[in-house]
Chain A
Amino acid sequence: MAPFPLFDLIGKFATYVVYLLIGISFGAVLEMSGFALSTKLTGQFYMRDQTVFKVMFTGVIVAMVLVFGATGLGMLDYNRIWVPPTYLWPGTLGGLLIGVGFIIGGFCPGTSVMAAATGKIDAMFFVGGILTGIIVFGESLGFFDHFWNSSYMGRFTLPDLLGVSTGAVVLGTVLVAILLLWGADLVERIYDPKKKLKPDLTPAHFLGAGVLALMAVGVMVIGQPTVEDLWQRVAPEKEPLLANREVQIHPAELRKLYYDPQVNLIMLDVRDEADYNIFHIKDARRVDLDKLEEIVPELQNAPEGTVVVLMSNDETWATEGWKRLVALGVPNVYILEGGINNWLAVYGEGEHEPLATGGDETLRYVFHAALGDKDPVAEPSQHDEGIEYTPKVKIEKKAPTGGGGCG
């Protein structure tokens, strides 16, 4: 399923060639649409030339329908696509400034680079300005870096905000966009009457709009895959890992990971609050199984060398969590073998008496107080106590194609 780990499949050089080709296509499309001319670009803001709006919004809705259509059909994994995280205020202010820069200077970064290539000297000065502006930014960031990092909302999408399905958002956006594009055509004719006496809209336009609208309906009807759907797709490959006990790690291995400086360990405890408060391993975070999906973007953006270990009292819930994270494309996910009960069995001797009774996923040790991570056994021992185990963690290198977005 796309997107593909290109670095692994074809190596770095070929991957960079792919990006180069994509860039070439992008630059070519911009140029052939007329965006090398600053006068044409700024015409958008004087209403007479709606090309910028038409090209941008048509591009956005076409890409949107294709992305979510492909995801609905199981050909593309939206969860592994880079979606810029929302920093609401810096992003909005930055957008405003780019709009200001556009109307003063006549370009945006992409168009200026493309236009410079076709000999437009004004674009070359604009590029020079961009480079200067970046220097100014870097040198002055110290004065406002708090603002720059403020209002972080993570991977926050319109369906999240509006509380409706992705398909509904796609269909709604496409329909509104088609309406606005039709309006843009009208506006052009009103503001530049000498341009057209004949109507601009041909049957082809209506056909195109109709096809796009139909595709958007299709996207809504197909729907987006649930976590369960995603798991079913990867189950043939991933289920054996569970059955062969390849991803369940011994507490002693967890101890080792905890102190390994090259490992960014993320421990997720999927038990309920009560058990978590009684005892949990130091630095383990509590996450409800149902809320796991929400932290996936954070896990995917985590640095190289990140290992995620799920734990519950035994293995049942942790395994369910493992399936969900794996289905959503999180790499390097493991399960604490035997869960907290096993951790206590290995390290809790003398501290806590075991309980004979208790069904699956109950804490089967005696705790006289709810100490959480202040319990003597909560912090992994700094000494390797020579316990034998089979090491299972193999850290998959993250495809560098993921994350970072615009760099």
Chain B
Amino acid sequence: MTTLAHTKPMTKVGSRSEPKPYVNPYVGGVLLGIVLFLAFFLTGNGLGASGGLNRLIIWVIDLVAPQHVDRVSYLLHYAGGDKNALDHWIVLMTVGIFLGGFISGWLGRRVKLETVRGPRVSVRQRWLLAYLGGIVTGFGARLARGCTSGQGLSGSATLSVGSWAFLLAFFAGGYGLAYFVRRLWN
């Protein structure tokens, strides 16, 4: 159930259920660019993901504590009164990302219940770090009003200055901390 570090799916010659290799990154990039363009062309909006998760958790909060939602202005905006936080295109897109990931993974025989981790980190440690990294990311995504999909990809493609600043800061954050957490991944 746990898997050590690998960056390519492991192929065993002759095995019938080996995962298929990934596409060439440039091919992936071109496909991504086309999907992004089609999103703009057909809908006027780019891609996004954090917004869907945002609305999901707010919807849950609204389910268990609606009075609280009506008192916190950030939550009110999404789910105040009768508003259904899930009634927004970004939620559909995020569900789509989940489905698309599964479909592609299934077709590529890469769906597997496993924990992907660096060779020097235990499964439990990986889970904890994933959770902590997620907290920082969730907070950061709300602060930035978007994530690598909404700001990094979509905003950059449309030449938004804030999005390019976001992108630079994203890589700075990752590279800046990489040396100090190298034990996690190497």
Interface positions of A (Cβ within 8 A of B): 2-4, 6, 15-34, 36-40, 42-46, 48-51, 54-64, 66-67, 70, 76, 78, 80-88, 90-110, 112-123, 125-139, 141, 148, 153, 155-161, 166, 169-170, 181, 205, 208, 399-402, 404-407
Name the contact of B26 in the complex, choosing from A28, A58, A120, A156 (C-beta under 8 A): A58
13 CB-based A-B contacts, threshold 8 Å: A2-B44, A15-B43, A19-B93, A26-B96, A42-B185, A55-B29, A59-B32, A99-B171, A100-B176, A108-B49, A109-B137, A119-B113, A130-B53
| B150→A118 contact, CB < 8 A | no
Contact between B100 and A91, CB atoms less than 8 A apart = no
Task: Point out the residue from A102, A160, A402, A405 that lies within 8 Å of B46, measured CB to CB.
Answer: A405
Closest Cβ–Cβ distance, residue B155 to chain A (whole Å): 4
Specify which of A19, A108, A114 is in contact with B89 (CB 8 Å cutoff): A19
Q: Which of A132, A134, A170, A401 contacts B131 (CB 8 A)?
A: A132
Task: List residues of chain B with CB under 8 Å of any chain A CB.
Answer: 5-9, 22-23, 25-26, 28-58, 61, 72, 74-75, 78, 88-106, 108, 110-118, 126-178, 181-182, 184-186
B92 proximity list for chain A (CB < 8 A): 16-17, 19-20, 23
Q: Which residues of A contact B137 (CB under 8 A)?
A: 97-98, 101-102, 105, 107-109, 126, 129-130, 133
Specify the main secondary structure of chain B where it touches its partner.
Answer: helix
Measured between beta carbons, the chain A residues less than 8 angstroms from B22 are: 32-34
Instruction: List, in ascending order, chain B residues with CB within 8 A of A49's CB.
Output: 7
Complex alpha-carbon distance, A61 and B117, angstroms: 32
Residues of B within 8 A of A33 (CB): 22-23, 25, 28-29, 32
B147 touches A109 (CB 8 A): yes
Residue of B nearest to A39 (CB): B5
Q: How far is the CA of A78 from the CA of B46 in the complex (A)?
A: 12
B131 touches A81 (CB 8 A): no
Closest-CB distance, B95 to chain A (whole angstroms): 6
A394 CB, min distance to chain B CBs, angstroms: 22
A136 — which chain B residues lie within 8 A by C-beta? 135, 138-139
Shortest beta-carbon distance, A194 to chain B, in Å? 12
Q: Which residues of B contact A57 (CB under 8 A)?
A: 29
Given contacts A39-B7, A133-B142, 16 further A-B contacts (CB under 8 A): A4-B42, A6-B43, A27-B98, A34-B22, A64-B159, A66-B33, A82-B46, A86-B165, A90-B143, A108-B147, A122-B116, A125-B130, A129-B134, A133-B137, A148-B143, A159-B159
